[in-house]
Amino acid sequence: MAVPSKPPATQSHQTTADNHGNANEGHPPQMVQSPFEAALLEELRTIASQQETARREDEANEKRWWPPSPSWAIVYVTVVYVIVASFQWCAIRRQANIAEITLTETSRPWVSPFLQVIGNGLSYDNIGARVAVRGVFRNTGHSPALDARFYMRLALYVGGDNPVDIQTEYINQIRNMGEKSPQRWGITVFPGGEAAKIEELRLTWGDIDKSKRGPTGAIHPIVVGFIEYRFAFSTNENEIHCTRFMYEMAALINGRMVTPNAGSNIPLNDLLFFASPSGGHEAT
């Protein structure tokens, strides 16, 4: 029995020929996608699009300052905390400084001078002028004044000059001497206590001739000085407290205050000795 043979694959040859013809005409061969592949590709595109959108939102959140993103919120909270902590630290330090100053001012010693002329008043001899001054230095504070030292001198100033400048020059002179010989020791003045010092102060005729003015040789004698001492409980062992003082002299004639004349003695009862109105009474 004869078996029929398969017809020749003319159609497949035609399809291949068509594909070659399409390629020859410049058209690539078409790939046919299954529905599953198409759905998978669409899902991947959707996921990529969502990730890109999320990335762009994160970048926008990072760039904006309000409302803050979680990362910027941490930065803002940290900055606010630092600012608040800085203000608190400044307030605590200020309160500590106020407390320290208050403690120092209320517990430190305060040494004040009280001067008076004694003896024969203001008199002259062949050397020049001389006057005996008694200084009483009282501690009105609440702790001992250590190494208290008292300095005073008789000086002259002329009209137009500032006597405080003479006082400052004298203080600087004494302190410069102290720097050259720092081993200087004073006395201790306890709270409520006092110390006295009597000293004869002099002026030479050379100084008097330079300062006298007018036909009568008017002069302006002053006593300038200062007190140095230390606070026993000071946190700074090198801190030195200072009280400055300055007194002026005048003659009392017929109940009137008169400028003294060079060479004219002024008895004690006719000598006015008073705190200078020009200043020079600071305490530090």
Block means of pLDDT (10 residues each) for the chain, 284 residues, are 49 48 53 67 75 72 59 74 82 71 75 93 94 94 91 88 91 81 76 93 93 88 94 82 94 90 93 90 86
Buried b (16+ CB within 10 A) or exposed e, 5-16: eeeeeeeeeeee
Helix extents (H) in 191-232? 205-211
Residue 22, SS3 per DSSP: helix
The whole-number pLDDT of residue 108 equals 87
Cβ partners under 8 Å of residue 106, min gap 6: 142
146 φ, ψ (degrees, to nearest 5): -95, 150
CA distance 210 to 183: 36
At residue 69, the pLDDT reads 58
Concatenating the DSSP letter of every residue in 50-90 gives HHHHHHHHHHHHHH--SSPPHHHHHHHHHHHHHHHHHHHHH
**Amino acid present at 276:** S
